């Protein structure tokens, strides 16, 4: 492919416009299309649209294509397995690929001791499996989640989700027994602490408020947490927050459910984000990057917890053999080089984005780990007024220049590129983002 990006037509181009018109007539309007990208093909971190425009991808299908678009090893594994058989329902029968994948997951999951896995098709299904298992094994009805969390849109997971009201509006009443606590938003700490002085005091809300006034701890089955909140704005929980949460749950016999749907599979420079804090979970939800674009979700748990009986939970398509084949190759590539690349190139990208603060007052905070980086935009660094409209304009300005990024939360830009991103591509992303910020700031000054 030509040097990237390479924008040949006004965006969207004529072919893109025609397909978008067809889409509007027959596809659900509930989808959140951030900008008019109509993809034709892709490779690595490069995306080509139907008009021949080339884009640098720092979105990766919402953190999914972790090995890059159409990695040849992944494509080969998919093709080979598709030629053997496409489906035989691991719910009712056996095949080696599912067993091998479960063995691989047992070897990497941030869980102490032997591990068993349940296979579904997506992140929200993985979370549903975690919820059902937690209630089943503890015989307790209640769950604690965090404000700002995104755990999915199916009805059980949606009860946990507390990211945007638009995701919940007109879908209630929600699954009962769910309570929300404040998450560690260090940039906007309500207690006036810094990460250096923080002792995760925000977690005191659970013991001093929820447990005292609302729900007894011995009736709580699990606490579910994202080590880095995704849709909540790429908020990074400090290590002490996760460590103290582990202590709290252990004290009360509550299961710790680690939602790694977006932050897992090498994205943060570790296989799982919770590993940065040295914490082990009881149950872990995985999806997105686990199969490089094939549909797969996993609820992994301590083997002594996953003892539910046959028929209590199942999935016709979960652990599809083609998805399992893609996941096995994905894990191999992650361990061989891509986790290390995410750490190295991620540090370079984060440093470059942080340096933009010197000339762009719109940038309030740059945070993240590995290739999971959030840039929060504010109208004033003192008041930290959220620059929501400006964030949206920056995302569109980046798209016009050939850089694909997405929003997170109300005013944060997320960088979640494929883990094959090179240092040179990271430099290009920084330069384009610099230009996009300048355009939006100049427009606001007029």
Q: CA nearest 287: which of 125, 45, 74?
A: 125
CATH 3.40.640.10 domain locations along the chain: 87-319
Q: Are 325 and 77 in contact (CB under 8 A)?
A: yes
Please tell me what DSSP assigns to residue 174. P
Contacts of 59 (CB under 8 A, 6+ apart): 404, 405, 406, 414, 416, 417
Share in percent of the chain as helix, strand, coil (round to 5): 40, 20, 40
Query: For residue 329, what are the β-bridge partners?
Result: none
The SS3 assignment for 195 reads: coil
Distance CA(120)–CA(142), nearest Å, equals: 23
pLDDT along the chain (446 residues), means of 10: 87 98 96 94 98 98 97 98 93 92 98 98 98 98 97 96 92 95 92 80 94 97 98 96 97 98 98 98 98 98 96 93 98 98 98 98 98 98 97 98 97 98 98 98 84
Cis peptide before 12 (omega within 30 of 0): yes
* Torsion sign across C-alpha atoms 207, 213, 216, 222: negative
Q: Provide the CATH number for the domain formed by 14-71+337-445 in this structure.
A: 3.90.1150.10
Helices 72-84 and 321-333: crossing angle in degrees, nearest 10, is 150
Q: pLDDT tens digits, residue range 8-37?
A: 999 999 999 999 999 999 999 999 898 999
Q: Are 370 and 60 in contact (CB under 8 A)?
A: no
Q: Are 147 and 203 in contact (CB under 8 A)?
A: no
Q: How many residues does this entry show for the chain?
A: 446
Q: CA nearest 289: which of 372, 206, 354?
A: 372
The SS3 assignment for 392 reads: helix
Distance CA(124)–CA(220), nearest Å, equals: 21
List helix spans (H) across 339-422.
Answer: 339-355, 388-400
The CA dihedral of 130, 132, 134, 138, to the nearest 10 degrees, is -170
Helices 388-400 and 423-445: crossing angle in degrees, nearest 10, is 130
Q: Are 92 and 310 in contact (CB under 8 A)?
A: no
Q: How far is CA 267 from CA 203, 344, 368, 371, in A?
A: 26, 11, 10, 6
DSSP string, 122-147: SHHHHHHHHHHHHHHHH---EEEEET
Q: How far is CA 128 from CA 30, 259, 339, 355, in A?
A: 22, 11, 28, 41
Q: pLDDT tens digits, residue range 120-149?
A: 999 999 999 999 999 999 999 999 999 999
Say if domain 87-319 classifies as CATH 3.40.640.10. Answer: yes
What pTM, to 2 d.p., does this model score? 0.96
Q: How many CB atoms lie within 10 A of CB 295?
A: 18
CATH 3.90.1150.10 domain locations along the chain: 14-71+337-445
Place of tokens 């810094």: 194
Cis peptide before 395 (omega within 30 of 0): no
């Amino acid at each position: 492919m030509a040097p990237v990006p390479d924008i040949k037509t006004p965006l969207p181009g004529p072919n893109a416009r025609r397909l978008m018109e067809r889409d509007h007539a027959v596809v659900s309007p509930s989808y959140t299309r951030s900008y008019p990208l109509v993809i034709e093909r892709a490779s690595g971190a490069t995306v080509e649209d139907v008009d021949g425009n080339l884009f640098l991808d720092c979105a990766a299908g919402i953190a999914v294509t972790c090995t890059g678009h159409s990695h040849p090893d992944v494509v080969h594994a998919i093709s080979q397995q598709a030629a053997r058989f496409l489906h035989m329902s691991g719910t009712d029968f056996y095949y080696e690929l599912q067993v091998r994948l479960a063995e691989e997951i047992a070897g990497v999951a941030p869980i102490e001791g032997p591990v068993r896995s349940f296979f579904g098709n997506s992140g929200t299904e993985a979370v549903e499996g975690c919820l059902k298992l937690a209630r089943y094994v503890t015989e307790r009805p209640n769950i604690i989640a965090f404000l700002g969390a995104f755990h999915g849109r199916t009805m059980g997971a949606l009860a946990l989700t507390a990211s945007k009201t638009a995701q919940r509006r007109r879908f209630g009443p929600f699954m009962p027994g769910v309570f929300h606590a404040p998450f560690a938003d260090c940039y906007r700490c309500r207690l006036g602490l810094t990460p250096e002085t923080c002792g995760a005091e925000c977690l005191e809300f659970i013991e001093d408020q929820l447990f005292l006034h609302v729900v007894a701890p011995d009736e709580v089955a699990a606490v579910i947490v994202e080590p880095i909140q995704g849709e909540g704005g790429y908020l990074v929980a400090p290590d002490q927050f996760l460590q103290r949460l582990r202590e709290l749950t252990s004290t009360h016999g509550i299961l710790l459910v680690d939602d790694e749907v977006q932050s897992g599979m090498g994205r943060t420079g570790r296989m799982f984000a919770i590993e940065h804090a040295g914490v082990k979970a009881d149950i872990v939800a995985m999806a997105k990057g686990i199969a490089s674009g094939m549909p797969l979700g996993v609820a992994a748990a301590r083997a002594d917890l996953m003892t539910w009986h046959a028929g209590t939970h199942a999935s016709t398509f979960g652990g599809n053999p083609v998805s399992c084949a893609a996941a096995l190759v994905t894990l191999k590539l992650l361990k061989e080089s891509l986790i290390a690349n995410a750490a190295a190139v991620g540090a370079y990208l984060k440093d470059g984005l942080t340096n933009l603060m010197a000339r762009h007052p719109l940038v309030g905070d740059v945070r993240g780990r590995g290739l999971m980086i959030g840039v929060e935009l504010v109208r004033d660094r003192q008041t930290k007024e959220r620059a929501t409209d400006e964030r949206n304009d920056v995302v569109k300005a980046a798209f016009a220049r050939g850089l694909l990024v997405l929003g997170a939360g109300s005013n944060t830009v997320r960088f979640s590129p494929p883990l094959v991103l090179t240092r040179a591509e990271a430099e290009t992303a920084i330069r384009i983002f610099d230009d996009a910020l300048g355009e939006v700031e100049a427009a606001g000054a007029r």
